[in-house]
A = this chain, B = another copy of it.
Amino acid sequence: MEQPLLLLVLDLTGTFAFALNGALTAVRAVRVDIVGVIALGMVTAMGGGIIRDVMLVQPPATFQDWRYLAVAAVGALIAFAFGHNMSRLSTPIEVLDAVGLSFFAVTGAMKAVDFGLGPVQAIILGTITAVGGGTIRDALLGRVPSVLRDGLYAVPAFIGAGIAVLSSLFGLYGAVAAVIAAAVCFFIRVLGLRFGWNAPVPRAWKRRDPPATRR
């Protein structure tokens, strides 16, 4: 089944951004070699979609298509070669990453709808598609996945997936609804980055958080 060209381009852009961002995170966090950089970049880019397809008992779609593998590998190799010198590019890379997040959340949720899952399950699978790769990467780096700790990463993905699934429940899903869903996810993510928004934390941690209590 051939995708429309625009969808393919967006999907490959998201894959590239995830691989680049994932590999950069790995390069900066721990000492890994070229095998680690490429593996962690590709896991970040493709891990979420693989979890989704495993849950749907389908062959992993991106893994079967050499274009995704190639784009993910190139993104990771760029991080390997130029990672020491890319700190000025943090903002454009994070914006690209937000594009990938938005796109994966919407397409992941709609794939789950196509396979007959209920709306709640489809929203969860869309969110997992968007955040699963980074979660596996962080687990392999031996640290608590950042999506579970701070920032707004799963929340915008959940909202974007939710808008797409709700629109399909009312028979309104189409190019317009997909763009709106992805745009809402994108803007929440980018605003969250800009203003340092966080999701609520349990009360036990709130008490411990203020610097004054840490002396």
Q: Which residues of A contact B (CB under 8 A)?
A: 27-28, 30-37, 39-40, 50, 54-60, 63-64, 66, 69, 79-81, 83-84, 117-118, 120-121, 124, 135, 139-145, 147-150, 153-155, 198-205, 207, 209
CB contact between A140 and one of B36, B56, B144, B209 (< 8 Å): that residue: B144
Majority secondary structure, A binding face: helix
Are the CB atoms of A33 and B150 closer together than 8 Å?
yes
Are the CB atoms of B149 and A145 closer together than 8 Å?
no
The verdict on A202 contacting B35 (CB below 8 Å), with A60-B55, A124-B69 known, is no
What residues on B are CB-neighbors of A154 within 8 Å?
A: 35, 39
What residues on B are CB-neighbors of A200 within 8 Å?
A: 33-34
Are the CB atoms of A202 and B148 closer together than 8 Å?
no
The verdict on A55 contacting B59 (CB below 8 Å), with A27-B202, A204-B28 known, is yes
Instruction: State the CA gap A30–B50 with chains docked (Å).
Output: 28
Instruction: State the CA gap A61–B205 with chains docked (Å).
Output: 34
A40, A143, A155, A205: most-surrounded residue (chain B CB, <10 A): A205
Q: List 16 A-B contacts (CB under 8 A).
A: A33-B148, A33-B149, A33-B150, A33-B199, A34-B202, A35-B154, A35-B199, A39-B148, A55-B59, A57-B57, A63-B121, A69-B124, A83-B204, A84-B207, A139-B142, A141-B144
Instruction: State the CA gap A31–B199 with chains docked (Å).
Output: 12
Give 10 new A-B contacts, CB below 8 A, not counting A37-B202, A142-B142: A27-B204, A32-B149, A33-B200, A35-B154, A55-B59, A55-B63, A63-B121, A79-B202, A80-B202, A81-B203
